[in-house]
């Protein structure tokens, strides 16, 4: 699918992967609709990209983001929140908000935007998940569960939707991409309540994830790992979960 001229809705566009993705898509000629909670930061991204601002709190079930966005050719679901600590110390409100922002809001956005894509015969859906949703992470059970939900949601949609023809370039059909980043150098870790302190793996810049997202849309890629070596632990976890758990306990928290 050509990004030049496509109308793209990016959630979580005020910072991190979402902001980097907005800049990358703008450079490729996309027409952007930018959503986020931090209006000042969102205004800065909009000024740099020429995007349309649609501030929204995705934890609010009454948010009418899909209606305000209008026609959308590509949805890039970047918005997400984290929290780190034992589950028994997590408040019910925190859990509910994380599930709403990370998973429920993007399911509902897809449900509302997809009919237009199908009617026009083309579109693309991108869900930014996490390696946590593939292998699990100690003391981030709810976050990992929401990202696992996104991955399975994307996979299930892929079976349901008409595939893209023409190798993804101006072809008909609706593409679906799941993006699986590892550690990314964004404010996410500070906001989750515990900074990232490990020396390995080294965080990758959000611009690297943004480039992967843009290329995945253009080439209709179903799944993208950033960095690519994350496929190894993901495949090991799937093929030999017992071995993976032994290694995870020996070499540190997953």
Distance CA(25)–CA(78), nearest Å, equals 13
Note the pLDDT of residue 35.
97
Its pTM stands at 0.92
Catalytic residue among 127, 143, 196, 225: 143
What's the length of the chain? 254
**Chosen CATH of 7-251 out of 3.40.50.720, 3.30.70.360, 3.40.50.10860, 1.10.10.10:** 3.40.50.720
Note the pLDDT of residue 151.
98
174, with CB counted inside 10 A (0-12, 13-18, 19+), is buried
* 29 CB-near residues (< 8 Å, 6+ apart): 3, 4, 5
The pLDDT averaged over each successive group of 10 residues in the chain (254 residues) is: 96 96 98 96 98 95 89 97 94 96 97 96 96 93 97 96 69 92 84 74 93 97 95 90 80 56
Q: What is the DSSP string of 119-144?
A: HHTEEEEEEE--THHHH--TT-HHHH
Note the pLDDT of residue 169.
54
**Residue 195, SS3 per DSSP:** coil
Note the pLDDT of residue 252.
59
Q: Is 143 a catalytic residue?
A: yes
Domain map of the chain by residue range?
7-251
**Residue 182, SS3 per DSSP:** coil
62-76 per-position pLDDT tens digit: 779 999 999 999 999
Note the pLDDT of residue 166.
59
């Amino acid at each position: 699918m050509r990004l030049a001229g496509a109308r793209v809705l990016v959630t979580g566009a005020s910072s991190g992967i979402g902001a980097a993705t907005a800049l990358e898509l703008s450079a490729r000629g996309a027409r952007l609709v930018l959503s986020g909670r931090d209006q000042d930061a969102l205004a800065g991204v909009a000024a740099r990209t020429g995007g349309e601002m649609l501030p929204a709190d995705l934890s609010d079930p009454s948010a009418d983001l899909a209606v305000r966005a209008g026609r959308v050719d590509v949805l890039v679901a970047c918005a997400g929140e984290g929290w780190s600590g034992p589950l028994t110390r997590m408040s019910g409100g925190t859990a509910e908000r994380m599930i709403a922002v990370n998973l429920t809001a993007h399911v509902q956005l897809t449900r509302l935007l997809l009919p237009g894509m199908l009617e026009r015969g083309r579109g693309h859906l991108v869900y930014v998940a996490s390696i946590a949703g593939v292998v699990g992470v100690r003391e981030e059970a709810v976050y990992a569960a929401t990202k696992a939900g996104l991955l399975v949601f994307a996979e299930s949609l892929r079976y349901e939707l008409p595939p893209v023809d023409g190798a993804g370039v101006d072809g008909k059909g609706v593409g679906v991409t799941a993006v699986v980043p590892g550690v990314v150098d964004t404010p996410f870790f500070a906001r989750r309540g515990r900074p990232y302190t490990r020396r390995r793996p080294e965080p990758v810049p959000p611009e690297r994830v943004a480039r992967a997202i843009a290329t995945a849309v253009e080439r209709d890629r179903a799944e993208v790992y950033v960095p690519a070596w994350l496929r190894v632990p993901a495949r090991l976890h799937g093929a030999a979960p017992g071995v993976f758990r032994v290694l995870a306990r020996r070499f540190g928290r997953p």
